[in-house]
Amino acid sequence: MTDAARDRLINPLGAFDSAATLVLLALAAVPLWAGPFVLRFWRNRIHPETRHDAWRRYRGWTVVVPAMAVPVLLGAAWVIVGAAVLSALCFRDYARATGLFREKLICYLVLLGIGVVQFAALDNYYRLFVAAFPLAIACVAGFAAAQDRPKGYLQRTALGVVAFALFGSCLGHLSYMANDADYRPKVALVLVTVGFWDVARYVSGKLLGGPLVAPNTTPDRNVYGSVVGAAVVVLVVFSVGWLAFDGTPLAAPVPLVVLGLLLALAAQLGDLMLAAIKRDTGVENLDKMIPGHGALLDRFDSLILVAPVAYHVMHFFGGLNVEAAGRVFSG
């Protein structure tokens, strides 16, 4: 392991080398500071049930924000470890909701695949990172068939493949972003925009109402909330992106607007994806791990689809340079 790799992975001393990291942390703190004042100001203008729900969500954010900020500041290894734990816990929620937890072999294979993806991210071994997806599918499909239980084979295999695609491959891209030498502001930008989208979508949706985005899928996601949430995401990316991507081709107006729009779209689709899973399985609440948010999967559903979109769009526009870091262990 080179000194540069060691510093990137475990040295927290450079946490504030980028001004963008400070700006993004300050932005993340704004809702935590302003939330109580806003809720008290509007206490007589909103329905008591909505007010109670907003307070629960606010208390949840006081847990979520530090939990996301601390690994980013400590080092890339902590980001990858955090993403690995998040992937496993989100998969647990998914397995409970879909009934996949009954298929022990498939669950173990999915968890093994998540481990391989996260090791590939830690090692900056992109060929293994890419190969993990088809190999995991081959293992799930093959070993499920070897159980000699043709009844329900397609269903349990499909559930396993989707699980690895979402919690192994998709979320693994958040880990792989940490191989950039200046990963902190870029990872922080992804996390902050997802958080701001959720807050803006929730608040504006409650205040403005309006037609539903997908009435057969979820009864509380309206068009106005989604539009305001998308506008906030584009504004945050456009305002802070030139700092986060300073010195790269992505620090330009058009690429930043494209990045913001695609992140907002991915966040909306991720939110609808979990709502569709819950509606299809008849599960209303996955868990109560985070007050006001429910299970980890409830809180991080948007991040699942945002992570690969962010990685590839940043890489396409030259905002990420993970190749320069080189392999860490297996090189």
Residue 11 has pLDDT above 90, yes or no: no
More confident residue, 202 or 192: 192
For residue 330, being part of any structural domain is answered with: no
pLDDT of residue 80: 97
Closest CA to 12 of 72, 92, 54: 72
Percent of the chain with pLDDT over 70: 93
Number of domains in the chain: 1
In a domain, 193, yes or no: yes
Tokens of 238: 């456009």
When pLDDT is averaged across residues 133-148 and rounded to a whole number, the result is 97
Domain-embedded: residue 237: yes
- Where do the H-state alpha helices sit in the chain? 3-10, 19-41, 48-74, 76-98, 104-123, 126-146, 153-164, 171-176, 183-208, 223-244, 253-281, 296-316
pLDDT in tens, 298-314: 888 899 999 999 999 99
Q: What is the mean predicted confidence (pLDDT) over 94-113?
A: 96
Asked if residue 128 belongs to a domain, the reply is: yes
d(CA 9, CA 76): 4
Q: Looking at residues 250-260, what average pLDDT do you find?
A: 96
208 domain residue, yes or no: yes
Please enumerate in sequence order all residues whose Cβ is within 8 A of that of 117, keeping only pairs 6 or more positions apart, or say none.
129, 132, 168, 169, 172, 175
Q: Note down the domain range covering 38.
A: 3-325
Any domain includes 155: yes
Q: What is the pLDDT of residue 286?
A: 65
CB 139 within 8 A of CB 186: no
Residue 331 lies inside a defined structural domain of this protein? no
Structural domain contains residue 68:
yes
